[in-house]
Amino acid sequence: MPISRRTARRAVATAAALAVFLPLSACGGDSGGGGAADASGKIEGSITFQTWNLQANFKPYFTGLIAEFEKKYPGTDVKWIDQPAEGYADKLSADAAGGTLPDVVNVSPDLLAPLAKAGLALDLDQAAAKYKKEYLPGAWAGHGIPGMEGTYAFPWYLNTGPLFYNKRLFREAGLDAEKPPTTYDELFAQSLRIAGKSKGRIATLANIPTIEDFGRYGVQLMNDEGTAFTFNDAKGVELLTKYKELYDAKALDPQALTATPESAGKKFLTQAVAMNPGSALDLEKFRKDAPALYDNIGITEQISSTGKDNMYVMGVMVNARTERTPAAVAFAHFVTDARHQMEFAKQVAIFPSTAGSLDDPYFTKEDGTDATRVRIAAAKSLKTAVNYTPVLMSDQMKTELRNAVARALQGKESPKEALDNAVRACDRLLKQS
Amino acid sequence: MTTPTTTAAAPSGSTAEGRAPKNPRTGGRPRDGRSRIRRHLPTSPWLFAAPGLLVAGAFSLYPFLSTVTNSFTDRRTLIAGRFVGLDNYREMLGDEMFWTGLRNSTLYVLGVVPALVVLPLLLALLVQKQIPGISFFRSAFYTPVVASIVVVGLIWVWLLDERGLVNAVLEAVGVGRVGFLSDQWLLLLSAMAVTVWKGLGYYMIIYLAALANVPRELHEAASVDGAGAVRRFLTVTLPAVRSTMVLVGALSSVAAFKVFSEVYLMAGPDGGPAGEDTTLVMLVQRTGTGLSGRAGYASAISVVVFVVTVALMLLVLRADRKEDA
């Protein structure tokens, strides 16, 4: 049957050719600077808005917000999509690579950087400069990308939190439960004491140091140009050496090398560790899930050698390839303007990034409750707080640092060697990005 | 064997038409069903197979070829790649984490496969007997198979935690606490134990089917000849289920080499302390995903995983063939 064989061969050849060439044609996303589009014009049309794990708890707030926007701008239609917390970066990358990125997207600065570099985030310094003065200068600047001109997302909510500690565990170690550590030296000394008194059964910390911890300790994380990492300086080595002492004395939980923030939180909840960072939200969790811990809960400020606390920043970016730039920019601004940020802050323990909002009585006036005390302290610290995590530090780079820290704590490498290796690996990844 | 579909699909003017006797009632179409089938064979199977081929092409062949082509590029998640030749493969040779992944995946095969070939067979021999209440045990052994791996992983993490049940028991009997989830090797062993525990029921069912086909007469004849239980197992049961053992060996070795969930859940996303428990598939996930994912490099690792997996299969099948010879 010569015809059928020929046909079959042709079919196979065609399939093979398609299979080889289609992937190349599918390679999407051109590199280059962020797009800048004209945001003037009539605000109308359908846009999509994607949030990061907010639907479960704040559905009424966002549906109300969207309805208000649609009423203010007749002819607009906002479709709200919410993604779970887990795998958010993967979802964004799939959307970005597939050309289906929503028009308005909730991002953190480290997620924003690769999107802006790929030209997918609108430069707001060009498209929406008139709104700049509404936000805290640091928050607006925090959405710039080192090595690129411009600002690529509207600042949204900020978050920070205190350090919680277990007064009972402090007392049992013979420490004054009303005088928690306020400096790193005190923290290390008290941690060793608690471990010693409990014969290694009670650790004080459950997490290995992260890049934010290095920042808070006063380590310079990157050079001024943002072209190389520098956390292997003497100060960085000093911090890691101290943590190694804690690890050897079991003052740092032995499972810290594989811990996640969630697992560390659980350890604190079960009173297996004495201190853990958190937010005002956690107080309610302690009260409900761990009443014995709640009765002994102590609240203190973050420990910092720089005098500046760490803060987490959220932003709202506009897809540079949206076909509805005026509506998308207007909506991103609407979500993040002072009034709506304030409304959102009253729904949940977050803090607005708009100028003057932190002076609202809601963030300054005591009412005698622990939750308010935590909120006021956090709002106060936010005025000088810093997002220590470099926006160019990708997940892969964070993994390199965690692995290097783990090798140093296990004694497989000296702290200096480990940090040198981590810096080399991060620099290599930075060059490839 | 004739089908109306075949007749209806008959094109006119084919060479077979001239040879077939004409039937006046059917407008001259041939009466001989066999000749009509023969005439349409070349295209009909392809039509029937087309849906399956399309699905396989779209969801297996295309991604596979795409992965191979990507492995020769420096493609990133958001940046189209350019051809870099064998650079990714060269980088892999100098990447410590790749060797760690290859070591752990190989150790996983060596640790898990013998257990999954032997233990389910013993279990099947135990539960094959028709005694009252045996179905309860069969179901109990099979339960881990249907349980979600995430749930299973979390349960084992709780059990093996420094303050978990297992450590509490060990402490009570004076052994002291053991760092199942903090020591690199114990973590890998713990993950292997979970894989074996979860896979026992599945392979037990395969063995039960094989054992049901072993003729009872052979056992009876061996008993009459004076063979004891062990001798009967070695001379009757084992030869009868040998091909099933090869199948189980092949399936479990492929699954073990591609292990991800158990290690990810127990060792964490970094792959244990300093990433020392990372497996190759975990490395693919970690390298290739996220907004800064290196799709080109991750594809190169995937190609290596594929080659090793195929090699493993061939090795097992070759060993089987040698024994046959």
Residues 57-86 on B with a CB inside 8 Å of A are 57, 61-62, 65-66, 69-70, 73-81
A181: its two tokens:
């550590």
- Rounded CA separation B136/B142 (Å): 10
Q: Contact, A275 vs A177, CB < 8 A?
A: no
Q: Which of residues A384 and B296 earns the better pLDDT score?
A: B296
Q: Given pLDDT bands bounded at 50, 70 and 90, which one contains residue B6?
A: very low
User: Is residue B170 over pLDDT 90?
Assistant: yes
pLDDT recorded at residue A86: 80
Taking contacts as CB-CB distances below 8 angstroms, the residues of chain A near B181 are: 255, 258
- Rounded CA separation B306/B288 (Å): 16
Q: Angle at which helices B295-324 and B238-257 pack, to 10 degrees?
A: 170
CATH topology of domain A45-159+312-382: D-Maltodextrin-Binding Protein; domain 2 (3.40.190)
Residue reference for tokens 């053992």: B245
User: Is residue A38 over pLDDT 80?
Assistant: no
Verify whether the Cβ–Cβ distance B66 to A260 is below 8 Å.
no
Nearest CA in chain B to A112: B291
User: Is residue A380 over pLDDT 90?
Assistant: no
Q: Contact, A37 vs A104, CB < 8 A?
A: no
Nearest CA in chain B to A406: B274
Taking contacts as CB-CB distances below 8 angstroms, the residues of chain A near B187 are: 258
Taking contacts as CB-CB distances below 8 angstroms, the residues of chain A near B156 are: none
- The enclosing H or E element of B241 equals helix B238-257
pLDDT recorded at residue A378: 87
- Rounded CA separation B69/A361 (Å): 60
Verify whether the Cβ–Cβ distance B78 to A96 is below 8 Å.
yes
- The enclosing H or E element of B283 equals helix B280-288
Taking contacts as CB-CB distances below 8 angstroms, the residues of chain B near A263 are: 268
Nearest CA in chain A to B83: A24
What is the DSSP pairing of strand A76-83 with strand A275-277? unpaired
- Rounded CA separation B67/B63 (Å): 6
Which of A1, A28, A272 is opposite residue B80, by nearest beta carbon? Answer: A28
Question: Which runs of consecutive H residues, i.e. helices, occur in B9-164?
Answer: 15-19, 33-40, 44-56, 62-70, 87-93, 96-127, 134-146, 149-160
The answer to whether the A45-159+312-382 and A163-309+388-432 domains have the same CATH topology is: yes
Nearest CA in chain A to B59: A19
Q: Which of A5, A257, A317, A413 to mutate to test the interface with B (most CBs of B within 10 A)?
A: A257
- Where do the domains of chain B lie, and which CATH numbers do they carry? 96-208+243-324 (1.10.3720.10)
Taking contacts as CB-CB distances below 8 angstroms, the residues of chain A near B61 are: 15, 19
Verify whether the Cβ–Cβ distance B269 to A260 is below 8 Å.
yes
Residue reference for tokens 């791996």: B149
- Mean pLDDT lowest for which of A284-288, A325-329, B86-90, B276-280? A284-288
Verify whether the Cβ–Cβ distance A20 to B69 is below 8 Å.
yes
- In single-letter form, the type of residue at position A195 comes to A
pLDDT recorded at residue A37: 63
Q: Where are the domains of chain A?
A: 45-159+312-382, 163-309+388-432
Mean pLDDT of B31-35: 52
Residue reference for tokens 């969801």: B59
Which of A4, A30, A407 is opposite residue B80, by nearest beta carbon? Answer: A30
Verify whether the Cβ–Cβ distance A89 to B291 is below 8 Å.
yes
Residue reference for tokens 């007064």: A167
- Tell me the shortest Cα–Cα distance from A144 to chain B, in angstroms: 17
DSSP for B4-32? HHHHHTPPTT-HHHHHSPB-GGGTT-B--
- Tell me the shortest Cα–Cα distance from A325 to chain B, in angstroms: 21
Taking contacts as CB-CB distances below 8 angstroms, the residues of chain A near B269 are: 260
Helix (H, G, I), strand (E, B) or coil at B73: strand
User: Is residue B19 over pLDDT 80?
Assistant: no
**pTM of this prediction?**
0.79
Verify whether the Cβ–Cβ distance B292 to A27 is below 8 Å.
no
Verify whether the Cβ–Cβ distance A403 to B275 is below 8 Å.
yes
B289–A contact, CB cutoff 8 A:
yes
List A48's β-bridge partners, or say none: A79
Per-residue DSSP letter, B274: G
For B120-157, what is each residue's pLDDT tens digit?
A: 999 999 988 878 888 888 888 899 999 999 999 999 99
pLDDT recorded at residue B148: 93
Q: How many CB atoms lie within 10 A of CB A84?
A: 11
Q: Contact, A122 vs A316, CB < 8 A?
A: no
User: Is residue A384 over pLDDT 90?
Assistant: no
pLDDT recorded at residue B17: 40
**What CATH code would you report for A163-309+388-432?**
3.40.190.10
User: Is residue B325 over pLDDT 70?
Assistant: no
Q: What is the mean pLDDT of chain B?
A: 85
Taking contacts as CB-CB distances below 8 angstroms, the residues of chain B near A28 are: 78, 80
User: Is residue B4 over pLDDT 70?
Assistant: no
pLDDT recorded at residue B96: 92
Q: Contact, A109 vs A313, CB < 8 A?
A: yes
B179–A contact, CB cutoff 8 A:
yes
Taking contacts as CB-CB distances below 8 angstroms, the residues of chain A near B273 are: 257-258, 406, 410
Q: Of B186, B271, B180, which Cα lies nearest the Cα of A260?
A: B271
A87: its two tokens:
């795998």
User: Is residue A30 over pLDDT 80?
Assistant: no
Verify whether the Cβ–Cβ distance B273 to A410 is below 8 Å.
yes
For A74-101, what is each residue's pLDDT tens digit?
A: 999 999 999 988 889 889 988 998 889 9
Verify whether the Cβ–Cβ distance A93 to B290 is below 8 Å.
yes
- Rounded CA separation A324/A327 (Å): 6
Contacts of residues B283-290 at CB distance under 8 Å and 24 or more positions apart, as own/partner, are B283/B97, B283/B98, B283/B101, B285/B260, B286/A396, B286/A399, B287/A396, B289/A89, B289/A90, B289/A93, B289/B77, B290/A89, B290/A90, B290/A93, B290/A394, B290/A395, B290/A396, B290/B77
Verify whether the Cβ–Cβ distance A97 to B187 is below 8 Å.
no
Q: Which of A403, A410, A428 to mutate to test the interface with B (most CBs of B within 10 A)?
A: A403
Q: Contact, A236 vs A218, CB < 8 A?
A: no
What was the ipTM of the complex prediction? 0.75
User: Is residue B246 over pLDDT 60?
Assistant: yes
- Tell me the shortest Cα–Cα distance from A369 to chain B, in angstroms: 34
B292–A contact, CB cutoff 8 A:
yes
Core vs surface per residue A9-43: b (16+ CB within 10 A) or e: eeeeeeeeeebeeebeeebebeeeebbbbebeeeb
- Tell me the shortest Cα–Cα distance from B136 to chain A, in angstroms: 36
- Rounded CA separation B78/A14 (Å): 28
pLDDT recorded at residue B5: 35
- Mean pLDDT lowest for which of A285-289, A423-427, B94-98? A285-289
A388: its two tokens:
């220590």
Q: Given pLDDT bands bounded at 50, 70 and 90, which one contains residue B323?
A: low
- Rounded CA separation A386/A399 (Å): 22
Q: Contact, A208 vs A259, CB < 8 A?
A: yes
pLDDT recorded at residue A202: 94
Mean pLDDT of B176-204: 94
Q: Of A209, A206, A184, which Cα lies nearest the Cα of A195?
A: A206
CB-hemisphere CA count at 13 Å for A409?
Answer: 30
Quote the distance between the C-alpha of residue A165 and its chain's center.
23
pLDDT recorded at residue B37: 55
Which of B61, B286, B293 is opposite residue A399, by nearest beta carbon? Answer: B286
User: Is residue A197 over pLDDT 50?
Assistant: yes
B262–A contact, CB cutoff 8 A:
no
pLDDT recorded at residue A39: 74
Quote the distance between the C-alpha of residue A89 and its chain's center.
11
Could you write out the three-class secondary structure of chain A?
A: CHHHHHHHHHHHHHHHHHHHHHHHHHCCCCCCCCCCCCCCCCCCEEEEEEEECCHHHHHHHHHHHHHHHHHHCCCEEEEEEEECCCCHHHHHHHHHHHCCCCCEEEECHHHHHHHHHCCCECCHHHHCHHHHHHECHHHHHCCCCCCCCCCCCEEEEEECCCEEEEHHHHHHCCCCCCCCCCCHHHHHHHHHHHHHHCCCCCECECCCCCHHHHHHCCCCCECCCCCCECCCCHHHHHHHHHHHHHHHCCCECHHHHHCCHHHHHHHHHCCCECEEECCHHHHHHHHHHCHHHHHCEEEECCCCCCCCCECEEEEEEEECCCCCHHHHHHHHHHHHCHHHHHHHHCCCCCECCECCHHHCHHHCCCCCCHHHHHHHHHHHHHCCCECCCCCCCCHHHHHHHHHHHHHHHHCCCCHHHHHHHHHHHHHHHHHHC
- In single-letter form, the type of residue at position A340 comes to H
Verify whether the Cβ–Cβ distance B78 to A410 is below 8 Å.
no
Q: Could you give the maximum distance between any two Cα atoms of chain A, in Å?
A: 93
- In single-letter form, the type of residue at position A1 comes to M
B17–A contact, CB cutoff 8 A:
no
- Rounded CA separation A283/A278 (Å): 9
Q: Of A45, A103, A39, A42, which Cα lies nearest the Cα of A75?
A: A45
User: Is residue B2 over pLDDT 50?
Assistant: no
Verify whether the Cβ–Cβ distance B42 to A258 is below 8 Å.
no
- Tell me the shortest Cα–Cα distance from B276 to chain A, in angstroms: 9
- Mean pLDDT lowest for which of A5-19, A151-165, B43-57, B247-261? A5-19
- Rounded CA separation B64/B56 (Å): 11
For B248-305, what is each residue's pLDDT tens digit?
A: 999 999 999 999 999 999 998 889 999 999 999 999 999 998 888 899 999 999 999 9
Residues 221-260 on B with a CB inside 8 Å of A are none
pLDDT recorded at residue B27: 46
User: Is residue B213 over pLDDT 90?
Assistant: no
Residues 124-143 on B with a CB inside 8 Å of A are none
For A210-229, what is each residue's pLDDT tens digit?
A: 999 999 999 999 998 889 99
Mean pLDDT of A14-35: 38
Q: Given pLDDT bands bounded at 50, 70 and 90, which one contains residue A1?
A: very low
Verify whether the Cβ–Cβ distance A114 to B292 is below 8 Å.
yes
- Rounded CA separation B325/B323 (Å): 5
